[in-house]
Amino acid sequence: MGKEWISKLIFPRITGLITTCSGDGKPNVAAFSFLMPVSFNPKYIAFSVAPSRLTFSNLREVKEFVLNIPDENLAKKVWICGTVSGREQDKFNLAGLTMVKSVKVKPPRIEECPVQLEGIVEFTGEFGDHYLVVGKIVEEHVKTLDFKPLLHYHGNVFYRINGELKV
């Protein structure tokens, strides 16, 4: 068997919608599954982004973001945000997502997501074909924790959570 994509080896991964904005304030949203928590206190998260993506360009201009966690019912909207470039289209409009003003950062939150974490970039470093971005969470909005997050495998394959397993 040949070499596999790392996304096929480490799965499933939580899917997030990361919102950013350009220096002139134009917002963008993109889907990410290369993301993880880094610290409990203070809260830090990390995600990796390819330098060709608009999200990367925006983060170089405005070092702020919002990590929005969608539930599984938003799968088609997440797919749009992960496959369409924000350079050519307004993905918020295309996907039917509602922007909400953030409290401490410039990029907007996404109303439809039950968890929205406002963050400030504190580290960016190149690792292979992606950049690792580490951000400190400066404001959190939690509507509910009673939801089923969307889990990503590879490409257009996602998983659902169908129950709890306690050990």
Provide the residue ranges of all domains of the chain, joining segments of one domain with +: 6-159
DSSP assignment of 46-92, as one string?
A: EEEE-TTSHHHHHHHHS-EEEEEE-BGGGHHHHHHHHHS-TTTS-HH
The residue among 123 and 161 whose pLDDT is bigger is: 123
Beta bridge partners of 121: 135
**Stretch 6-17: mean pLDDT, rounded?**
90
**For residues 40 and 117, what is the distance between their CA atoms, to the nearest angstrom?**
13
What's the pTM? 0.95
Question: Is 6-159 a domain of CATH 3.40.50.410?
Answer: no
Average pLDDT, whole number, for the chain?
95
Residue 145 has pLDDT above 90, yes or no: yes
150: CB partners within 8 A, 6+ apart? 14, 15, 70, 71, 72, 74, 75, 78, 158, 160
C-alpha dist (Å) from residue 47 to 3, 66, 88, 93, 165: 23, 12, 24, 25, 26
Give the pLDDT band of residue 14 (cuts 50, 70, 90). Answer: very high
**For residues 153 and 143, what is the distance between their CA atoms, to the nearest angstrom?**
26
**For residues 55 and 86, what is the distance between their CA atoms, to the nearest angstrom?**
9
Report angle CA 116, 122, 126 to the nearest 5 degrees: 105
From 40-44, 83-87, 120-124, 161-165, the region with the lowest mean pLDDT: 161-165
Long-range contacts, 5-13 (Cβ 8 Å, 24+) = 5/154, 7/33, 7/34, 7/152, 7/153, 7/154, 8/153, 8/154, 11/151, 11/152, 11/153, 11/154, 11/159, 12/151, 12/152, 12/153, 12/158, 12/159, 13/151, 13/152
The residue among 7 and 43 whose pLDDT is bigger is: 43
Give the pLDDT band of residue 87 (cuts 50, 70, 90). Answer: very high
Query: Could you report the per-residue pLDDT of 19-77, keeping only the tens digit for each?
Result: 999 999 999 999 999 999 999 999 999 999 999 999 999 999 999 999 999 999 999 99
